[in-house]
Amino acid sequence: MSADPITDDVVALLARIVDRFTGSYEAAAASQGLTTVQAKVLAALGEPLPMHRIAEELKSERSNVTGIIDRLEARGLVERRPDERDRRIKNIVATPAGAVLARNFRRSLGFAAEPLAALAPEERVRLRELLQLMVDGEA
């Protein structure tokens, strides 16, 4: 269809890899009793973030984030902290408990993803180059 069979192959391979990757992601999240969105939020919370930044991060609506944070806060993993300078803003910060889960999540994601990169060192370097090109290739 797309004229170029190699491109088609690459796209198909990417589809499979994406599938595995998201599978690993979900498994890693579940291993910490988190949904994927919750894991994503918690993982992004190295620095406190206002709600609307989180909405951006998730490419979703502010109204949606309210609920997600509600649930995380109800479990004591996250805290709404009023901003000093701008009283409209609530900064979300991970509690110690939340930080632990985030760290465990990242670790188990790493383990899950590692087999994917089980290539010879030289191959991994080459792969990194190519992926970097792909990433740079767009705006």
Partner DNA sequence: CATGGATGGTTCATGCAGTCAACTAATCCT
Partner DNA sequence: AGGATTAGTTGACTGCATGAACCATCCATG
Using left for φ > 0, alpha for ψ between -120 and 50, and beta otherwise, residue 110 falls in alpha
Cβ-based neighbour number of residue 117 at 10 Å: 10
Selected from 28, 90, 101, 105, the binder of DNA by CB under 7 A is 90
* Contact status: 61 vs DNA (CB under 7 A): yes
Q: Closer CB to its own copies, residue 59 or residue 85?
A: 59
Give the number of residues written for the chain: 139
Q: Closer CB to its own copies, residue 22 or residue 80?
A: 22
User: What sign results for the dihedral spanned by CA atoms 92, 96, 97, 103?
Assistant: positive
Residues at the site binding its own copies, with contacts judged by CB under 8 A:
1-2, 6-11, 13-18, 20-23, 59, 106-107, 110, 113-119, 121, 123-128, 130-135, 137-138
